Amino acid sequence: MATLETFYEVMRRQGITRRSFLKYCSLTAAALGLGPELVPQIVHAMETKPRTPVLWLHGLECTCCSESFIRSAHPLVKDVVLSMISLDYDDTLMASAGHHAEAILDEVMEKYKGNYILAVEGNPPLNQDGMSCIIGGKPFTDQLRKVAKDAKAIISWGSCASFGCVQAARPNPTRATPVHEVITDKPIIKVPGCPPIAEVMTGVITYMLTFDRIPELDRQGRPKMFYSQRIHDKCYRRPHFDAGQFVESFDDEGARKGYCLYKVGCKGPTTYNACSTVRWNEGTSFPIQSGHGCIGCSEDGFWDKGSWYARQSDILQFGIEANADQIGTTAAIGVGSIIAAHAAVSALKRAQHKGDV
Amino acid sequence: MAPLDNAKPVATPDEEGTAAPAAGRFLKAIYVYEVPVRIWHWVNALAIVVLSVTGYLIANPLPTMPGEASANFLMGYIRFVHFAAAYIFAIGFIGRLYWALVGNHHAKQLFRFPFWDRHWWGELFLEARWYLFLERKPKLYVGHNPLAQFSMFWAIAVGSVFMIVTGFALYSEGAGQGSWQDKLFGWVIPLFGQSMDVHTWHHLGMWAILLFVIVHVYAAVREDIMSRQSIISTMISGVRTFKDAEAPADEGHERPVKKAARAG
């Protein structure tokens, strides 16, 4: 990684013809939902811009984000990693290990101060001085803070980095904390999902490198181009929802007919992600298509919003899980009985004092 | 007893009501609820019933419809009715808010919570004691008694705002980013955490309002029978009538006698 070549130079070196390169640019534009008039802009950017160094850190995580990422088909992850970005540090994917690997981190931070992108998979645990996650002999929290200091922007990969995910679920003994609550002075792009869709991940990276800016984000810091609609809004089973046709239990007649999974707990109506449009594994399928409701994995605190098999989520503060309607019904019955008793006493009192008033 | 320090209350009801009937007879029918208030009350009541039933059915849908999806639109209709009733509820609330500004002083009561008024708290506890059978007689009120005002303020004034804000936030998810609902109310969703949390709170809000409705209907019927003023007919005709001769506690200026005693 002596001098940084441009995308185009790298691609040509790899034996890709200019014709293929232009095709690739048009495909990328289409994947990002851009009009044809922006293709020359992408071509120009790729021909002239040096590749941006990306440092990919791993905190408390399960590597499902990486697993998803390496399955990207449009663009192929090979093109992203080998041609588009300069993925200088990713302890799971890189060849070197140990001190050599850690040395690269320092080198890039120094050489490209303020110009590299930090991608974080997983999150830092803050309790016990961060001892629940040790990277190269030091707490991950320290590594994250150090590398974030001179980063241009931070990408929070997955629900762990974005919202906390399973390790931050109640009671969260290690105090696993989403990245944006630890690093507060950098632009952070949240790409939630457990894992995020591969094409969403590469799409976000492609956009940032091509246009040299952060994609437009929504109120919660997620790229609008992938997270502006709910699964429910674009679900192919939506007509059954509007018709009032539901799977009442798994394996019933409705399940065989592909009815809406709302009653068996589908979280599609409350989950913002691109699953129902982009789908998974080169557009093969997504959970609802395979007959299981969405579990809302890209939403804040989704582990604590169970059950995954009931429409209404439990309210954990009530100790024993109860949903809003159970609490409401109980309260209504309680108030109803109090009123009945009150009415009885009122009638008695009135009989006692008849003629007083 | 509650410290009613600023006045010798008109009614230390036990003695005066019976002891001095001739002193200050208060036989009057007072026009309390103006037409817009009454119309709003019944439209709002109907809206709450429709919203609760449809809202419950949205969270707990009816059994599956038979036939083709293209031949059915049950969930669609239920949601439509919910949203239509919600607009009526919200617009009615804004109208009611306007009437609080231009209507008579009884129209303002719903939106008032006189937290710093010790006298008001005293009467509130007195009313609570009456409901706990610790007082033999309640006071007379032309408008709402303090306990009723307290619960209406929290359940209807605050409760409606809560339901309108969370409701439009949920509606904005369907209306889409950039819609006016999203611009005005979209911030609510990250405030609560995520969409599911807003749904849960919207539900709890419904149950809170329903609990109020149960108590409200019971209290109105009971008061109509047991207290000393008209209740239910007042919300239809607008006129409060009194069953005995004492002066109400909240109408100092209309009281023919005892003005001197009230001063201070």
Distance CA A283, CA A203 (A): 15
Shared-domain flag, residues A158 and A28 = yes
Q: Per residue in B144-179, pLDDT tens?
A: 889 999 999 999 999 999 999 999 999 999 999 899
> Are A219 and B65 within 8 A, CB to CB?
no
HSE-CB at A289 with a 13 A cutoff on CA atoms is 15
For residues A202 and A265, membership in a common domain is answered with no
What CATH number is given to the structural domain containing A123? 3.40.50.700
Residue A329 counted as domain residue: yes
* Domain ranges, residue A106: 7-227
> Given the structure tokens 């130079």, which residue do they identify?
A9
Contacts of A227 in chain B (CB under 8 A): none
Would you state the structure tokens that stand for residue A175, as one six-digit string?
A: 């105090």
Residues from chain B contacting residue A353 (CB–CB below 8 Å): 136
Task: Kindly report the number of other CB atoms within 10 A of residue B223's CB atom.
Answer: 18
Of the pLDDT bands very low, low, confident and very high (cuts 50, 70, 90), residue B197 is: very high
**DSSP H helices in B159-194:** 159-175, 180-185, 188-192
Considering the domain architecture, whether residues A306 and A351 belong to the same structural domain is answered as no
Residue contact A312–B74, C-beta within 8 A = no
Rg (Cα) of chain B, in Å, rounded? Answer: 22
Q: Supply the pLDDT for residue A72.
A: 86
Mean pLDDT estimate for chain B: 84
Domain boundary among A227, A260, A291: A227
Record the tokens describing residue B247, joined without a space. Answer: 């002066």
pLDDT digits (tens, 9 = 90+) for A205-223: 888 877 888 999 999 999 9
Q: CA A58, CA A156: separation in Å to the nearest integer?
A: 11
pLDDT of B251 above 80: no
Judgement on whether residues A69 and A182 belong to the same structural domain of the protein: yes
Q: Does B120 touch chain A (CB under 8 A)?
A: no
The reported pLDDT for the residue numbered B26 is 55
A320 is a domain residue: no
Beta carbons within 10 angstroms of residue A67's beta carbon: 12
User: Is residue A218 less than 8 Å (CB to CB) from chain B?
Assistant: yes
Q: Are residues A287 and A189 in the same domain?
A: no
Question: Is residue A278 a part of any domain in this protein?
Answer: yes
Which tokens hold the place of A326? 């159970």
Region B92-120 average pLDDT: 93
Residue A27 lies in a domain: yes
Q: Quote the pLDDT of residue B95.
A: 96
Is the Cβ–Cβ distance between B178 and A303 less than 8 Å? no
Based on the fold, state whether residues A204 and A281 are members of the same structural domain: no
CATH number of the domain to which A285 belongs: 4.10.480.10
CB of A327 within 8 Å of a chain B CB? The answer is: yes
Give residues 24 to 83 of B whose Cβ lies within 8 Å of A. 56, 59-65, 69-76, 78
Q: Are residues A124 and A161 in the same domain?
A: yes
Window 231-250 of B, Cβ < 8 Å to A: 243-244
**Distance (Å) of CA A163 to CA A17, A66, A160, A294, B49:** 42, 17, 6, 18, 38
Nearest chain B Cα distance for residue A227, angstroms? 11
Residue A318 lies in a domain: no
The interaxial angle of helices A39-48 and A18-31, nearest 10 deg, is 120
Q: How confident is the model at residue B8 (pLDDT cuts 50, 70, 90)?
A: very low
Q: Is residue A1 part of a domain?
A: no
Q: What is the pLDDT of residues B11-56, one digit of tens each?
A: 333 333 333 333 445 567 889 999 999 999 999 999 999 999 999 9
**Cα torsion for A323, A328, A329, A333, to the nearest 10°?**
140
Residues of chain A neighbouring B243 (CB-CB closer than 8 A): 357
Label residue B46 exposed, middle or buried (CB < 10 Å: 0-12, 13-18, 19+).
middle
Phi-psi region for residue A347, left (φ > 0), alpha (ψ -120 to 50) or beta?
alpha
Closest to A121 in 3D by CA, of A67, A52, A185, A181: A67
Report residues of chain A scoring pLDDT below 50. Answer: 1-2, 357
Contact B71 A325 (CB under 8 A): no
Same domain, A253 and A298: yes
